[in-house]
Structure formats: C-alpha cells, structure tokens
Amino acid sequence: MYFLLVCADLYGEKLNLEITFPTMPTIGELQRKIIEVYNNEANVKRPQGYPAVEFSIARLQIYDDVMLKWTDLVACTQLHEYDQLYAFQPQSPWHIDVQKDLPPPRPPTSTARGGYDASFSSNAYQQQSYNNSYSQPAASPVPATPGHGPVYQVANKGGSPQTVQRLEDQRRREAALQAELQRMHEETARLEAQAAAEAEEERRRQAEEADRHLRQKEEDMRRQREALLRAEEEYRRMHEEAQYRHQTTRR
C-alpha cells in the first residue's frame, strides 16, 4: 500500500487523513480519492443546518522536507510515501480556510457509517480539473512563525504506532538515499574535474609532440641545406682544379 497524509478544512476544523493507494497515484487519481474521502467525511460530520456542500479542490500543496516549505503539487514525481499534503478548497460563504496547526493524521471514517455515494464524488470530479483556471485560495497551511515548516511534523506526531514506525523507517531510507545521492554528485564532480584535467594534459602532450616533430623536421632540413652547400662548394673546388690542370697541360 502507498500512504499519503492529506489535510483539509471541514466545517471550520482541520482534518488530517491517512489516504491509501495500491501504488503511487497520478495527480488525477489522487484528486479523485481525496474528493471521495472528504465527501464521505463531510456527509458524516455535517453540522445541523449546514447545506450539503460538495468537497472540491482548488489547489494541492505538498510539504517539501528538503526545502522546508510548502510548494504546489503539479506532478506525481513530487510524491513520496507518507508525504504531507494540503488540499485547498475554493472559498465560499460555507467554507473559509483558517490558520491552525495541522492535527495528527488518522484513518478516514468508514464509508459504511456515512452511506456515502461514490458516484457523487465522481460526478464532482468531472466538473473540475487540476489547473490554475479557477479561483485560488489565499490561505496557506504555513504556520504563523516565519521560517518554519508546519507545526505538525510528519515523522513525530500522532497516528497509529505501526504508521509512525513505517514513516520513521521511510524517512531514514529517504535520508540515506539523499546522502548517497549527494555522494554520487560529489563523485561525479570529482570525475568530471579529473577528466577535464586529463584531457588538458593530453592536449598539452600532443602539442609538445607536434612541436618536437616540427623542430625535428626543421633540423633535418637545415642539415640537408648544409650538406647541399658543402656539395656545391666541393663541386666548385673540383671544377676549378680541373680547369687549372687543363690549362697547365695546354701550356
């Protein structure tokens, strides 16, 4: 099972529910399940005199444990098991998000108690999509103290002992993976620097080899010119001697 913690406001109170999936859900699957579960909660807990207002989602946010802040949830790749989410609803006379601490998570109320009709949620979902085309609530689950995450911390608040233990194990695995990823980044940077240094050394070696070869060629050509000059000098000397002997013989 894949667990996510989803908090939302319902009749002036915050509920934080453990919602389960067979595997990591898509954004559409996540939104449909949240609407289904919270519509059931609304059906069970609706105070006397309140109209039957259908639960809908204006924006989903996820608490980033690395950045220590809330961010908009736009892709399922942002999800990790036991992540804390917050579902904002469109503001209306019957719903206003209030600034309160997030409560400990609990399982949803059984659908058997409320007699909730799942088709009600399905029809609701067909009327909305997860984008920014509709009104966005101004409220935020971030607590009043600046620079801090939510007062509710996923790893050390309430919930069943089994859930808390699994959550702590998950966080430890996540921390170990983050440490391994950091080590891999550092190793990659080291190898890139080593590769660049080796490439520079190879370019220097090739330049020196080409320079040495050029100097050798120049030296060979100098020697050939000197040999040619010596041969020409020897030829002139021998020619002059031959002419001198010829003249002497004629006399």
Q: Which domains are seen in the chain, by residue range?
A: 2-159 (3.10.20.650)
Tens of pLDDT, residues 197-235? 999 999 999 999 999 999 999 999 999 999 999 999 999
User: Which band of pLDDT confidence, cut at 50, 70 and 90, is reported for residue 251?
Assistant: low
73-87: average pLDDT: 93
**What per-residue confidence (pLDDT) applies to 48?**
81
User: Which band of pLDDT confidence, cut at 50, 70 and 90, is reported for residue 74?
Assistant: very high
**What per-residue confidence (pLDDT) applies to 111?**
52
Quick check: 152 pLDDT over 70? no
Q: What is the DSSP string of 58-81?
A: SEEEEEETTTTEEEE---GGG--T
**What per-residue confidence (pLDDT) applies to 36?**
95
Residues 6+ apart with CB under 8 A from 99: 139, 143, 144
**What per-residue confidence (pLDDT) applies to 216?**
92
pTM of the model: 0.48
Please give the share of the chain, as a percent, with pLDDT higher than 70. Answer: 77
If one counts every other C-beta atom within 10 angstroms of the C-beta of residue 33, the result is 19
149-173: average pLDDT: 61
Contact 8, 38 (CB under 8 A): yes
Quick check: 144 pLDDT over 80? no
Tens of pLDDT, residues 88-105? 998 877 666 777 788 999
Tens of pLDDT, residues 11-67? 888 999 999 999 999 999 999 999 999 999 998 988 887 788 889 999 999 998 888
Quick check: 151 pLDDT over 70? no
Quick check: 246 pLDDT over 90? no
Q: In what order do the strands lie in the sheet with 84-88?
A: 13-21, 2-10, 84-88, 59-64, 69-72
Quick check: 156 pLDDT over 60? no
Q: What is the mean pLDDT of the chain?
A: 78
Contact 83, 6 (CB under 8 A): no
